[in-house]
Chain A
């Protein structure tokens, strides 16, 4: 499969040719230094395996308590969706929706779209609706902030530990696993390879449009 093509740097618009890269190699923009292409090292099934694992870990993280608090005979525990709900009940509706979006909807949506996309990408040519999903994945992953949420939980735990005894719950393990797996999916998933195999919006690929004739779409 030919993976060489002309691209314009997203940060400075310089037109350049991407050579065929070996596994683990990177191509950076000659003018501004932005990484244009990074060739993953793992097998093509690795992202799918990682996504399934991350989805299971995410379900654990969302349903089981993250932390448990004991103080003078009282007991309280919370989950991530539960924390957003408490914010809603306390009257901060917008903040609650934002937390729900960044900590629940965006990560869950990211994994769901990735799962569908990776299954669809096993077919060749990749169906066009999968390309649509790839676009959504790119937009939603900016707002998936689980690693920031994790740090927030740890700081909150430290603060509360001054007044009561706090223990991390089982959900915390699922949470930890998810935030390690998501970056692993990102670095092993070859977006460019999928784009090259995707069925075009208008059906057949249009004739190549480039300064040279090296912008070639694959069938």
Chain B
């Protein structure tokens, strides 16, 4: 069954992003502030596409040094040893804890990459005015938002490794420059997901299929 769509924007109404109150905007250009909670009202997040592209591109650039530069330096009297994220994964794998190795690999390598590809796909499909598989694209967006935080895993692993292994002069672990870039990738992709407005996915569609009426 296909149903005509009444969205808040089409009905001339605006939904508050903070308290979800649907209200009549003060004007079409400047909707004003929410009468209930005081949040600034916006029909769609302001400059959503440009902001998201900027943040995602910055994250993509940081992703390269994040993987190439060492995240940890192990200093012993014999010398020092630099480890990248992949080296950490391989270390966990060879020391017999392959489930942890897999977890770190997914959280630090695959999730950030998957997020960047997904955000780029969402942006391109919105810019091309695609009306296909809007439901699936919205689901993809929700997954990106939910799993994004898990890529912070490696930052915390490095922090606690550094904090514990301070046994000078025997052995100490120092953070490498890669941690900073990696943290930047995680924060930038999280901000990119926040600035993307999923309602844009649906703005080109005028009708929808009622699934379980």
Q: Which residues of A contact B (CB under 8 A)?
A: 6-8, 10-15, 30-34, 66-67, 69, 71-72, 74, 76, 78, 82-84, 86-87, 90-92, 94-96, 98-99, 102-103, 131-132, 134-135, 138, 142, 145, 148-149, 151-160, 162-163, 166, 192, 195, 198, 200-202, 205-206, 209-211, 215, 217
Binary flags per residue of B135-174, CB closer than 8 Å to A gives 1, else 0 = 1001101100000011011111101111111110011001
Q: Which residues of B contact A (CB under 8 A)?
A: 5-9, 11, 13, 15, 17-24, 33-39, 88, 91-92, 95, 97, 100, 103-104, 134-135, 138-139, 141-142, 149-150, 152-157, 159-167, 170-171, 174-175, 179-180, 183, 187, 190, 194, 198-199, 201-203, 208, 210-211, 213
B163 x A86 contact (CB < 8 A): yes
B92 x A155 contact (CB < 8 A): yes
A152 to B138, CA, bound (A): 30
**Contact pick for B159, options A33, A95, A159, CB 8 Å:** A95
Which residues of chain B are within 8 angstroms of A158 by Cβ–Cβ distance?
92, 97, 100
A83 to B1, CA, bound (A): 57
Majority secondary structure of chain A interface residues (helix, strand, loop or mixed): mixed
Pair count A-B, CB < 8 A: 223
B103 x A151 contact (CB < 8 A): yes
A152 to B163, CA, bound (A): 12
A151 to B155, CA, bound (A): 11
Known: A67-B160, A69-B165, A92-B179. 13 other contacts (CB 8 A): A8-B7, A8-B20, A8-B22, A30-B211, A31-B208, A67-B164, A86-B166, A131-B38, A151-B153, A153-B156, A156-B164, A166-B164, A210-B13
Which residues of chain B are within 8 angstroms of A135 by Cβ–Cβ distance?
18-19, 37-39
A112 to B190, CA, bound (A): 24
What's the nearest-Cβ distance from chain B to residue A68, in Å? Answer: 9
Most chain B CB atoms below 10 A, which of A31, A82, A102, A192: A31
A32 to B35, CA, bound (A): 27
A122 to B156, CA, bound (A): 38
Q: Which residue of A lies closest to B171 (CB)?
A: A163
Q: Which residue of A lies closest to B202 (CB)?
A: A12
A163 to B155, CA, bound (A): 21
A120 to B18, CA, bound (A): 19
**Contact pick for A131, options B23, B36, B95, CB 8 Å:** B36
List 13 A–B pairs whose Cβ atoms lie within 8 Å, in order of A's numbering. Answer: A11-B142, A11-B199, A14-B208, A15-B7, A30-B213, A32-B202, A87-B162, A151-B103, A156-B160, A156-B161, A159-B92, A159-B157, A206-B35
Which residues of chain B are within 8 angstroms of A205 by Cβ–Cβ distance?
35-36
What's the nearest-Cβ distance from chain B to residue A10, in Å? Answer: 7
A159 to B194, CA, bound (A): 33
Which residues of chain A are within 8 angstroms of B92 by Cβ–Cβ distance?
155, 158-159
Q: Which residue of A lies closest to B88 (CB)?
A: A159
A76 x B6 contact (CB < 8 A): no
